[in-house]
């Protein structure tokens, strides 16, 4: 069967008006993704980056923390819809704790392989990651 592969991004009517979206068609195993790099370069102080879930931004704890720190260091807000969390440059110690806990859970999520070797294989996630820059 031949045909197109179609991706879908849904934005609910929560008052979010997207000005631009960045979409990578790649694995989230690392942060070497062209659209992610363009998004980081594009955003500036006062912008908000909206991401559906933390694992769409990064799978590894260190990568997620680095990206959040890099973006908030530029004065950019990061809003994770699924977790209901928003991070800013003025992050409280509680939000930093939440980021660390959520990122640790994210990096340890996965499935044990059927072989019983004890290795953790990443959970199956779609190959499309989308970041959106919006005004909230």
Enzyme catalytic residues: 12
CA-nearest of 48, 20, 46, 47 to 35 is 20
Do strands 77-80 and 128-135 pair parallel, antiparallel, or not at all (unpaired)?
A: unpaired
* Helix boundaries (H) for 1-136: 34-42, 54-57, 61-73, 93-108
For the chain, how are helix, strand and coil distributed in percent, rounded to 5? 30, 25, 45
């Amino acid at each position: 069967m031949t045909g197109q592969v179609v991706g879908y991004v849904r934005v609910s009517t929560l008052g979010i008006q997207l000005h631009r979206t960045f979409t990578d068609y790649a694995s989230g195993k690392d942060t070497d993704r062209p659209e992610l790099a363009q998004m980081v370069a594009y955003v500036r102080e006062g912008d908000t980056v909206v991401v559906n879930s933390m694992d769409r931004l990064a799978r590894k704890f260190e990568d997620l923390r680095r990206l959040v720190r890099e973006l908030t260091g530029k004065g950019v807000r990061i809003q994770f819809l699924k977790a209901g969390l928003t991070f800013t440059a003025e992050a409280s110690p509680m939000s930093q704790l939440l980021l660390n806990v959520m990122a640790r859970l994210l990096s340890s999520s996965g499935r044990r392989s059927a072989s019983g070797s004890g290795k953790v294989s990443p959970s199956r996630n779609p190959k499309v990651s989308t970041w959106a820059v919006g005004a909230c």
